[in-house]
Amino acid sequence: MSYEDIFNLSGKSIILTGATGYLGKFFANALLEFGADLAILDLKDKELSELCSNLKSKFSNQINSYVCDITNENSVEITIKKILNDFKKIDVLINNAQGNDILKPIEEITLSDWRKTTSVNEEGLFLVSKFVGNIMSKQSHGGSIIQISSIYGILGPDHRIYNNSLLNNRKMGSTAAYSFSKAGIIGLTKYLSTYWAENNIRVNAITPGGIESNQNKEFKINYSNRVPLNRMGKPDEIIGALIFLASNASSYITGQNIIIDGGLSAW
Ligand SMILES: NC(=O)c1ccc[n+]([C@@H]2O[C@H](COP(=O)([O-])OP(=O)(O)OC[C@H]3O[C@@H](n4cnc5c(N)ncnc54)[C@H](O)[C@@H]3O)[C@@H](O)[C@H]2O)c1
């Protein structure tokens, strides 16, 4: 094997959940650029078909889109079967979808609020992992599963920086259900990595820190002040780890969590 090609994804069939989201679009473009065939999956029908035609106008790789609510077991099972039928194999799964966070003080959070986050981040991620892992375990070459966690799965938020914070001109914050689910993802990653190791399925997590988007200036300054590299991350800065874990370059890596946080967790 030429080392030049170790990051090449040509011939790999990859599923990306939450594809129409902020990071999902960057991930989709990068995976296609590295040669993958791509199944994009999301809840949002219109956004998904727009993304699909945009990607098809730029890339000649196989690209199919699937509307699926990952909290619905039946819908996940049918969708994954369809993807297998369309692509004939599944080499990589990227569990990137996330549910809505309900911004209320924790004392006022109801169980139904809590489940808006955890049903997607935990249960949905589990369901997609289960059906895809079952397929990968029957493939002689196994596969790679990449779970997208968050810095708040490993660190508590500094609630003080959220006081006057806005995202898209709406109040932003970080919730307990988000921290709970993102921490659980890292535990599940470790569990699945040892469970499916004998089937040559690698399971790893990526833990991004705060990524710059449409937050207000005050939040960006307050967040950046806490980061050794003194700034928020950029979506492009997650791509290296994503391609690495999807490709043969990481063939001996499983059960790990790659933290991309500008050093925030190093203090
Ligand atoms: N943006 C950041 O700063 C940041 C930081 C750390 C971690 N992350 C993680 O990265 C991932 C992507 O983040 P983002 O900012 O792009 O999120 P986003 O909210 O922009 O996108 C999430 C996507 O998931 C989809 N989705 C929601 N519920 C679904 C369901 N039931 N079935 C299928 N799809 C569903 C949404 O439609 C949306 O397209 C998330 O897992 C998030 O926790 C993001």
Q: pLDDT tier at 83 (50, 70, 90 boundaries)?
A: very high
Q: Does the pLDDT value for residue 1 go beyond 80?
A: no
Most distant CA pair in the chain, distance: 57
Which atom of ligand 1 is found nearest the CA of 121? 41
Residue nearest atom 8 in ligand 1 by C-alpha distance: 150
- Total-model pTM: 0.98
The CB density around residue 223, as the number of other CB atoms within 10 Å, is: 22
Residue nearest atom 42 in ligand 1 by C-alpha distance: 98
Mutate to test the pocket of ligand 1, among 98, 121, 170, 239 (most ligand atoms within 8 A of CB): 98
- Taken in order of first residue, the domains within the chain and their CATH numbers are 3-160+174-215+238-262 (3.40.50.720)
Own/partner contacts of 124-127, CB < 8 Å, gap of 24 or more, are 124/17, 124/69, 124/70, 124/71, 124/76, 124/97, 124/99, 125/70, 125/95, 125/97, 125/185, 125/188, 126/188, 127/70, 127/71, 127/73, 127/76
Distance CA 28, CA 59 (A): 11
Ligand 1 first shell, C-beta below 6 A: 17-18, 20-24, 42-44, 68-71, 96-99, 120, 124, 148, 150, 208, 210-211
Summarised one tens digit per residue, pLDDT across range 104-135 is 999 999 999 999 999 999 999 999 999 999 99
Summarised one tens digit per residue, pLDDT across range 141-162 is 999 999 999 999 999 999 999 9
Summarised one tens digit per residue, pLDDT across range 100-109 is 899 999 999 9
